[in-house]
Structure formats: structure tokens, C-alpha cells
Chain A
């Protein structure tokens, strides 16, 4: 039996594991799911027929493939969801939800565009002009909202979202 054990361990060892994808942390899976859900809880201006929803990530992308997996094949009000990654604020265009990662907004600033909801994950993100900010509380992902930032972009955040988020 000892020999059988040794071979069992060897077998497990030989199962050469490929490097696992970066950013598969649960925190970002939850944040990705929130981003997708935000599309449904905001009143957006009319868009061209057939145009997809656009979720953008500005600067460093902490999601890896998680965000792509979250929105793959998803439709909201009959429109597909598309992802875009931007290196600089100047590249951002026709974006519905723009996510700016921790530590990036200070460098890039928070671009303000009509019809675009900005989402961050750093203390001070709302003060700097962002609309929604993720934070961790009791190991759970929560968010705070600054409704004035959303309305300045011509967006109306649903009361349900306001109820769940901490309004500032």
C-alpha cells in the first residue's frame, strides 16, 4: 500500500499544471458581475439601434479574463455587451461604463463624458468626480454612489441601486 501511495503522489505531481490565469480572484468576479448589472439599473440616453453596450477599462486591467467571461454572450435589453480597454483617457469614446482600477485614477484622472458612468475602487474616487466606487466591507464587495456625478453625465441611477449603495 505504501508503494501505491507513492505512485498516487507521483501521478498528482506529473499532472503538470498550466499557470493559472491572472485575476481569477473572487473579488474581481464579483466586481465584474456588478459592472454588468449596473447596465440594467441606470437609465441611459437613447442609443443607435444595434449598437452594443460598452464597458471600458482604463489603465491597468485587474480583471484579466474574468470580465470577458462575465459578459460573454450576455444581452441587456436586446443589445450585446462589448468590452474595451483604454490606455489613456483620450482614447475613451462611446463608453457606457468606464472602470478605473485602484491607483490609476490619480494618474489618469476621471474623464467626464455625457452618457458615461464612471466606476472606481479607490478611496477618494467619488470626491475626485467618479460616480460609483467599490469598497470592501466585512470581506464583501459594497459600493458607494454620488448621484450628482451620474446626473451631471445625463444619467439617472435607479432607486434600487441607490438603496443598496451608500449614497454620498
Chain B
């Protein structure tokens, strides 16, 4: 979509020219032919068009980070909190609310949503995109709902894969590490007929289980296998067709509570979550002129997820149409309609069932965004809105207004106000769950303690959580080699998802008394968050580039006086107040690169997670143009550390130090 594109292009305009300067003359002709550029006029226009807090992780950043799996790459973007829960589990959040089921962050892969409407989260263990296939990752902090729709409350992560045209020929990449990891991928691209480019690929990622503190570790780690294809076909000079798809299978070991009333002391069980799925995505674009185009898209996804407590079968159909048109010299309009159908089929277990077991939800939406030039080249207003309807939620209206001022070519300032919604998931409405029993001390030596079970029920009348976000930002190209991007925000949240407990009920199981504690979901909490993010790039010399980032964040949530409701998901307690990062990319010679990175996460006292400084080092060697060998270490300073304290089922495990090696061969 235009906004997305604009963000990408503009950021490229800010950062890429600086980065790419180093030693272009020494690149091979083939390499030169593969550098993506954009025409000057578009750049100048679009440099001034990002009235949002955006950071782009480029393919070069990705390669030089030495990171081999997608979720970990998000550490490169300032203001994103990445907490690894286990070998294949992550809690990832932007601007707070970082939970293992983060529900206010929208993730898109080539424009297709990876947000699961059933659970209301993104399953990172199912997103195993080959690192070498990623063109860039755009990270938008703040609401993006006017353009992308519901659940883009605190941010949008947009993963863009390379076109088939840009991945011609073969690639074999393989690596392994001391944390008993291995990643491998193969890819081949060709030209089926003139203008029709294809590629096929396969990936395999395996991790041994990470250690759990004071407990048995799962016997199984993480295994993800996937295969994918992509076709980019320039049907005519004005029409292009993209068809892509993938299949995957993921299996993740974890330790889950296994106690019951009859065996309250049973140790946690060694179990696993498995997911298999397939996705197909098609998009046709017709360009009338440089300022007018239409796009039609369709996607279908099937997923089967089996965890120790539930088994879910999902089908998602998504259709969209959009048009981009320039009206007169002052209005640049993009509008569209979309329809999405999610069907769910769940199989109950003794502990968990959903009401109803099968359901389906249909959502239709229209959106429009107009970029109005108030003073050509200096001041523009971006007004956008998305209106959607779903039977149980009703209408959702998510507007945004953004003002962009570009007093000079190298300076731009923006302010924005937006409203966004997080819609209740099927879980939020229909959950009926008996948690594992815990011992409730009676407080008196004469009365024996009792076992208690939380009986968690969803709220059939659950409503959307809403945010009203006030943002401001500034981009400065201080010198040719130095740029800054700073943004600040103040968010006001209403109807935040909450849990509250009722009066315990005494029950008996085979004559043994125990307490059932009714626990229900509601929308009783409210709160606010505020903070700032800074990203800076400094090209110290033609061979040495530094990237820095800092983010400061506070999240506060409350309930009304006298109401004992608690937050349903983690809001601020699992979010460090400070994070910074510093990355250095140094070309020792034309063939040898030395890359270092430091990531700092302040302590999270409420969850007992201490501060952590992560240090990464990578040495890359390119003996010939088609072969790259790299070795390095991740998390050099600590042998094992805990990044997140899980509150859900499955225990968090410790992230180990990892010495690794990787070989990439192109042919």
C-alpha cells in the first residue's frame, strides 16, 4: 500500500544513499546490477512523506547482523522489544504490552497479515522465512490502523521478501552453532518465459532445547521446515502479477503444568506444540500512469495448531482491491476495500474448550488516505481512515491525521493523532478453561490448606480495546554522513482487556474438597503510555558505519476505584524502561568484514528479569564474489540468561551464548 511504500522508499532515501557510498566502485558488475535504487524525483517527494515513526532493516543490515532467524532480526530496530522465551518462542512488542501473546502488534508478510484472529497474536514459530530472501523489514512504531486495519495498535512490522527477479540463480546457505542450532536453506530462481521470473526454496531450522532454571528442560527443542515459491510476472508493460506461497511445519518442545486434583504433586510434563500450514497469495497490479494504479489481491491460509490444551483448525480467505490516484496537483489519494473470512474449528480437551467450538467471522473494511499538499514541498496533511464491520464487534472507525513539515531538504518534522482498535479474539470471547491446581494456604495451622483451580471464562460481550495516540517526530540529516530520527508519543488506552475473580466455590472430586475460583475476562482496565525513540546512522568513513538506537518507555494501567480487575496480558511489567543498541559495520578489506553489535535491555523489576547487555561479533569473509563465510558469537557476555518470565503455560527457558558459522554459496 502507498503508505507502506512511501515509508520504505523515504527511509531508503534517508539511509541507503549514505550506506551504499562505501566502495561501490569496487563491486562487481553483477553486484552493481542488483543494487536497488529509486529515481531522484520520487525520492525527494517521498523523503518528505513519512509522517510516522519508521525504521527500515535492510538486507545488508540483516546479512551483517549474523542473525539467522526472523524474530531475532527485530532486535536491530530501535524501540522493538524482543524477548526470547525458548528455542522457538518469542514475546515481541512495540511501545509496551509485550506479552508472549502480544496482541497489539500487526505483522505483515508481503502485505498479507500474519496476525492470528483466533488467538489474537502472531505465532513467530510458524514464520520461518529464509533470511536471504528478505529484502527489508519496515518497522512502524505507533498505530497503523487507518491503513492496515484493526490490531495495528502499537505498531506494524512489515516483512518484504525479494522479488523472484532479484533472486535468480541458485543459493545454498548452511550454518550451525554451539547452542546446537542448525539452519539451512536452498533456493533456485529462473525465468520461465520472458518477463516471468520464478523461484523455489526450502528451509530447515533446528534448535536443541534451551535450559530451564530450577526445572527439567524439554526433551525437544524447535524444528521448523518450510518450502516456498514465488512468481513475478510482468504480463505487459502495465500489468504485473505476483503469486507466492509456502508450506511449513513447526514443532516446539515445552514444559507445561500437569497437576490435577487427583495428583496435585505431578511434575510438569514434557510436551510440544506442533503447527502445520500452507499459504497462497496472489496480487495483480495495473499501472495506468505514474500517478494512477489499481491492485487486486487474494490470499488463503490454512493452519492446524496442536498444543497440549487445544487443537485448532483455521482457514482464512482475504480479498482486497485498492486504487491509487492523484486528484489535481494537491491530492494524492489511495483507497480500497477488503473482505476477510476466518473459520475456526476447535477440538476440546478436558482442560480447555471454546464456546462455540466452531465459528467463523467475516470482516469487511473500506479505507482511504489522502495526502494533501498545503504548501508544495513544505507542508502536507495526511488524512486517513479505515471503517470496518464485523458482526460481533459492530463498526470500527479508525482515523488518523498527520501533518508533515519539510522546511529544508534535510529536515522534516511531523505530528500525528490516530485512533486504533484491538478486536477481541475468539479466545477472548469463548474461552472455558480450568487451570492446573495450586495450593491455597489456609493461614491457620489447624485448618488444612486447600487446592484451588482457576476457572477462566471468556467474555462473550468482549469489546475492542482502543488507543488514542499522539505522536511527534523529527528527521535530520545533520551532515552527509550523519542522520537522526527521533519520535515521541503519548498513548491513551481505554477498555483494556482485564481479568477479575469471583467468590470461590467449594467442590469435591472423589471426596477431596477443592476450591474453584471463577475468573472472567472483561474490559475494565485503562491506561496510558509515553516514551521516545531515537535512531541514528553515522558513516564515519567509507568503510565504517555506525548505527545507534535508544528507546525510553513507560506504561501505566489502572482500574476504576474499587474494581479489583487485573490486566489480562502483560502491559508494562515485562517492558524495560530503557533499551539501547549500537551496531558497527567495518570493512577491514574488500573481502573481510568485522561487525559488532551491542543491545542493552534495562531490568524488569516486577518480573524479576535483570538488566542484560548482549554482545554480538561477526567476521565475514568473501574469498570470491559467490561465496561468503562468516563466523561469530551471539550473546558473548553471558553463558545463559533469562529474557522473559512466562505467565502462560510453558515455562521460559534461558537463552544461551552461541558461537556459530555460516556458509553461503551463490551459483
Contact = CB atoms under 8 A, between A and B. Distances in A.
Interface in A3-50: 5, 8-9, 12-13, 15, 17-21, 24-30, 32-34, 36-37, 41
Contacts of A21: 480
The binding surface of chain B is classed by DSSP as: mixed
B410 A140 contact: no
B27 A142 contact: no
A160 interface: yes
Interface residues of B, number: 39
B486 interface: yes
Given A12-B484, A17-B479, A160 B25 contact: no
Contacts of B35: 26, 30, 140-141
Interface in B446-486: 474, 476-480, 484, 486
B37 A141 contact: yes
Residue of B25, B38, B477 most packed against chain A (CB within 10 A): B25
B541 interface: no
Contact of A9 (B24, B36, B40, B486): B486
Given A32-B25, A34-B29, A164-B30, 15 more contacts: A5-B488, A9-B488, A12-B484, A15-B478, A17-B408, A17-B410, A20-B409, A27-B38, A27-B39, A29-B20, A30-B24, A30-B37, A33-B24, A139-B36, A140-B166
A33 B410 CA distance: 25
B17 A24 contact: yes
The binding surface of chain A is classed by DSSP as: helix
A41 B29 contact: yes
B279 interface: no
A92 interface: no
Interface residues of A, number: 38
A70 B24 contact: yes
A24 B484 contact: no
22 contacts: A8-B534, A9-B474, A12-B476, A13-B474, A15-B484, A17-B408, A17-B411, A17-B478, A20-B409, A20-B480, A26-B16, A27-B38, A27-B39, A29-B21, A36-B25, A37-B25, A74-B25, A138-B163, A140-B33, A142-B33, A160-B29, A164-B29
Contacts of B38: 26-27, 139
A17 B29 contact: no
Given A24-B17, A24-B480, A139-B36, A8 B409 contact: no
Interface in B1-35: 12, 16-17, 20-21, 24-25, 27, 29-30, 32-35
Contacts of A8: 486, 532, 534
Contacts of A87: none
A140 B20 contact: no
Given A9-B486, A26-B35, A20 B410 contact: yes
B377 to A, nearest CB: 15
A34 B586 CA distance: 24
Contacts, number: 107
B195 to A, nearest CB: 11
Contacts of A164: 29-30, 33
A70 B25 contact: yes
Across the A-B interface, the 6 shortest Cβ-Cβ residue pairs: A27-B37, A33-B24, A26-B37, A139-B36, A17-B410, A15-B478
B43 interface: yes
Contact of A33 (B12, B25, B39, B476): B25
B40 A25 contact: yes
B583 interface: no
B37 A139 contact: yes
B165 interface: yes
Nearest to B534: A8
A71 interface: yes
B29 A161 contact: yes
B552 interface: yes
Interface in B385-432: 408-411
B277 to A, nearest CB: 30
A30 B32 contact: yes
A12 B474 contact: yes
A19 B32 contact: no
Contacts of B166: 138, 140
Interface string B532-563: 10100000000000000000100000000000
Contacts of A70: 24-25
